[in-house]
């Protein structure tokens, strides 16, 4: 029989749930930004605040990790999961900020479509992370697969949208540069979602 003299610190699961909810909140604010673009300043500030809250949550997780002797999952996975969750909202803030700084008149249809996919991806992440504390690792995989599929859709939309801009003789080079940078940040946000899914899959394998 195996037993532990020192119990595992389970609060990490609660902290991860809070971080995932915060990421979802930020991406939903980003969606509001592109669907109600007349309120650009308002929603960009909301995304910035969520990004700041994400930094605080990440710091809390890392500090707790440094002070905890026995963790419920691998220490490296805890650190990577905290950082990659934070990276998602960092990319989201990068998008919101560039809409303001570059004085973009309107988001493109493709950008709105991509952000809709990001909303779905972070929802899947939140659902997957919510199952960690119940040790429902077999049910987490379905959410990881969904995130990977959504990330692939984002990649495809970005490729076609950027190619269409590059191949259009009527497009102004400066506008192309601005929009491409926003597309790059959206794609990186999707990549970070996939990174979180990969960490969750690693946790599943180690617990199986």
Tens-digit pLDDT profile for residues 29-50:
999 999 999 999 999 999 999 9
96 with 44: CB under 8 angstroms?
Answer: yes
Would you list the domain boundaries of the chain? 11-207
Q: How far is CA 101 from the centre of its chain?
A: 22
User: Would you identify the CATH topology of the domain 11-207?
Assistant: Methane Monooxygenase Hydroxylase; Chain G, domain 1 (1.20.58)
Residue with tokens 């180690």: 206
Rounded distance between C-alpha atoms, residue 116 and residue 157, angstroms:
12
pLDDT digits (tens, 9 = 90+) for 135-177: 666 789 999 999 999 999 999 999 999 999 999 998 899 999 9
- How far apart are the C-alpha atoms of 108 and 106, rounded to whole Å? 6
Q: Nearest CA to 88 among 180, 22, 152?
A: 22
The pTM for the full model equals 0.93
pLDDT at 2 over 60: no
């Amino acid at each position: 029989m195996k037993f532990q003299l020192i119990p595992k610190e389970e609060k990490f699961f609660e902290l991860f749930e809070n971080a995932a909810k915060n990421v979802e909140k930020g991406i939903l604010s980003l969606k509001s930004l592109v669907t109600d673009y007349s309120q650009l300043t308002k929603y960009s500030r909301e995304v910035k605040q969520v990004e700041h809250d994400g930094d605080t949550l990440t710091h809390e997780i890392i500090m707790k990790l440094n002070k905890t002797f026995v963790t419920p999952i691998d220490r490296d996975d805890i650190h990577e999961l905290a950082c990659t969750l934070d990276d998602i909202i960092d990319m989201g803030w990068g998008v919101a900020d560039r809409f303001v700084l570059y004085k973009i008149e309107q988001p493109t249809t493709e950008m709105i479509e991509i952000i809709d996919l990001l909303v779905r991806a972070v929802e899947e992440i939140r659902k997957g992370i919510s199952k960690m504390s119940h040790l429902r690792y077999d049910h987490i995989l379905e959410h990881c697969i969904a995130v990977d599929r959504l990330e692939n859709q984002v990649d495809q939309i970005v490729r076609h949208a950027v190619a269409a801009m590059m191949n259009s003789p009527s497009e102004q080079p400066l506008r192309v540069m601005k929009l491409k940078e926003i597309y790059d940040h959206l794609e990186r946000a999707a990549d970070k979602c996939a990174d979180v899914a990969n960490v969750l899959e690693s946790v599943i394998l180690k617990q199986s």
